[in-house]
Chain A
Amino acid sequence: MALWVDEFRPRTLDNLHYHQGLSTRLKSLAASGDFPHMLFYGPSGAGKKSRIACTLRELFGPGVEKLKIDQRVFLSPSKRKLEINIVQSNFHIEITPSEAGNYDRVVIQELLKEIAQTQQVDLNAKQRFKAVVINEADSLSRDAQAALRRTMEKYMSNMRIILCANSTSRLIAPIKSRCLLMRVAAPNYHEMETVLNYVAKRAPFTLPPEATKKIIDDSGGNLRKAILVLEALKMQSPDLSGPLAIAKADWETYCHKVADLIVGEQSPARVMEVRAKFYELLSHCIPPTVIIKTVAERVVERVDESLKADIMHWAAFYVRKIVGGLAVPFTHSCWPAQEVRMRIGSKKIYHLEAWVVKIMSLYKHFFYDVDMSAFD
């Protein structure tokens, strides 16, 4: 039994519920036979992957759904073995090069060239080219992106690349200029309502409108999350009536607790308490950026209007310190991914704590109107 998210995932472009303009555009592109390289971008849970899958089906027919999973071994220049999982059908191949970390360049170079140099031999194939779907394209290292540049032009006849990313900010301009950009915006309230009702109809059960509203408000535009929550709630109370408690992720409640501690009292003892909590969060692999963001958003809800801007400012400031703790010079190999920096030695807990102390002092300053300018 599959999860609802997978079970009711639209299979064809016609079945997609929203962004009709995008769907017709994709459809006509697929029909025209002149298919460009594509870059799908948008927030998570907006339906990028579904759209890619539908487009592939439109291009190659139902054959793309016959998937097999393969594990390939690549050798890095220093003869280290890299194992990469590849999902492929006869017509397309799907990779997540960021699995290889810093060596994603090797994967891109070898795999793409290999695909590009083999022609489609199946005469019944609808298209002459194979499609390569690259997931998490925004975490590709700069070298890997540079490796894509000429490959995309040179092997256009045998291969089309479909990139999937959350944001285009971290893609280099030459890549962006070679692709047709497809922005997949998060669905709005109304569109999400339609989809949830559709899921309810297919499941089937009746979905009370107040439950729909609650789920949508909670999901923040992430449709996948909304459907997962719906399924979880359905498991809890089959008729979906009465007060619904949407379970938040543990780390989220934990972050909120931290925020409450900060607002509750400002003292060195409190900082120690908060530190313990931060360590706990970090040891569960919650990225420090996410921690700061969640805590800051919660704190901001609970303080005076005039303080809000400052709190956000310092949050942004320390987030930059965390990611940019040690500036890796541009020429040194790859795009400095967050994790790389951390390994070099910037300690994230310092910055988290510094931020907490900063906002505590701001808060105190605000209440007692002490002149703290000397400490800045």
Chain B
Amino acid sequence: MSFFNPKGASAKTSQKHVVDPALQPWVEKYRPRTIDDVSAQEHTVTVLRKALTSTNLPHMLFYGPPGTGKTSTILALSRQLFGPDNFRNRVLELNASDERGISIVREKIKDFARQTPRAQAVSSDGKTYPCPPYKIIILDEADSMTQDAQGALRRIMETYARITRFCLVCNYVTRIIEPLASRCSKFRFTPLDPSSSSLRLSHIAQCEHIDIDSAVIDTLIKTSSGDLRRSITYLQSASRLASSTSPPTAITSLDIQEIAGVVPESVINDFASTLGIEVEDAMDVGGSTKHNANSFGAIQSKVKELMREGFSATQILSQLHDLVVLHPTLNGRQKSSCALVFAEADKALCDGADEELWILEVGLRINKAIS
């Protein structure tokens, strides 16, 4: 592990990049190695598998919500195409942590795109790779590139199409300017369905030798809503916490909720009953019986209390939203006027308005809408 370990001069360069696998984030550790490992996304995988056998590949645009495997897929594909040796000089990966202004597009990307790839060398690990005669430039998180930088790419993409393929990866396809989007074949990545997420999660749990029951996996999937990376990170954090307590304990659903920053259900229910929403939860009969509570003063002090506890306003909003929308007894009109409030509050919070004031506003308006 140590840099100073005498291991011969040749090992020195490679050793610098070796990471202790125990310390690696599982998201990196269990990144799919081949495109066949990619969970779900059957359609995309079928198309790309064809690209492996033929030597042709279009420019590509991957889009979809976070944690659905966009970056993993393109990395796996290029690894399969070029093998570990050629990977470095055939693939250029740029993401939002790199400077990507118009000057970089003009210089770095253009220079890289211009190089004619070297002839195929024999791979060191004995396997043969297709190693087609082009390079791949991956622009990760492309939606954070400026319009100008995207504009500068237009011509580059066409001029060097013979020797270079571009792969744009983004969350919002609408932020990619039309001329770029039309040059690429688009692949939409859908949120993972629960069954494939749970398959992957239990696979990881098995590899890491942690005991985890299906209820916990369900919670993981529920809190992360189709974002596999998020659920893997939560799983790792939870297992860290569980294993670092003096007698190692099993992971519980409660741990997951705490890690995910979810506001405990009892707190939300309590808040809701202060607002005058009937919570049919049998647990806090004591709380919901005092119906005189839904006055201005009560709501204000409740909001103050919530803020002091440090809960995040957006989290409170989204959970309260779920509670209201799925509520059994409220009628459509009440629900829709509540939804309107939630939408306005979300916008205000996004703009950076004061959290306490807006949670109070939401509370008061829901209270009004319901009574």
Contacts and interface: CB of A to CB of B under 8 A. Distances in A.
A18 B261 CA distance: 20
A28 B315 CA distance: 28
A142 B307 CA distance: 24
A314 to B, nearest CB: 9
B336 to A, nearest CB: 18
Contact of A77 (B101, B224, B358): B101
Interface string A226-263: 00000000000000000000000000000000000000
Contacts of A33: 23
B245 A309 contact: no
- Of A167, A293, A338, chain B has the most CB atoms within 10 Å of the CB of A167
A54 interface: no
Q: How large is the interface on A (under 10, 10 to 19, 20 to 34, 35 or more residues)?
A: 35 or more
Given A143-B96, A149-B96, A338 B357 contact: no
B181 to A, nearest CB: 14
Interface in A101-121: 108-109, 112-113, 119, 121
A167 B355 contact: yes
Interface in A312-335: 312-313, 315-317, 319-320, 322-324, 327, 330-331, 333, 335
B83 interface: no
Interface string B10-33: 000000100110111101100000
A247 B296 CA distance: 28
A43 B308 contact: yes
B144 A168 contact: no
B55 interface: no
Interface stretch (B109-117, B160-168, B276-284, B344-352): B344-352
Contacts of B219: none
A239 B67 CA distance: 61
A167 B261 CA distance: 11
B321 interface: no
B97 A109 contact: yes
Given A169-B313, A331-B147, A293 B354 contact: yes
23 contacts: A24-B245, A32-B243, A43-B307, A123-B4, A147-B97, A149-B97, A150-B97, A153-B27, A157-B19, A167-B312, A168-B261, A169-B315, A169-B349, A173-B227, A173-B230, A181-B260, A309-B296, A313-B361, A315-B357, A316-B361, A319-B357, A327-B351, A338-B352
Interface of B: 1-4, 16, 19-20, 22-25, 27-28, 66-67, 95-99, 101, 103, 140-141, 144, 146-147, 175, 224, 227, 229-230, 233-234, 236-237, 240-241, 243-246, 258-261, 295-296, 300, 304, 307-315, 344, 347-349, 351-358, 360-361, 364-365, 367-368
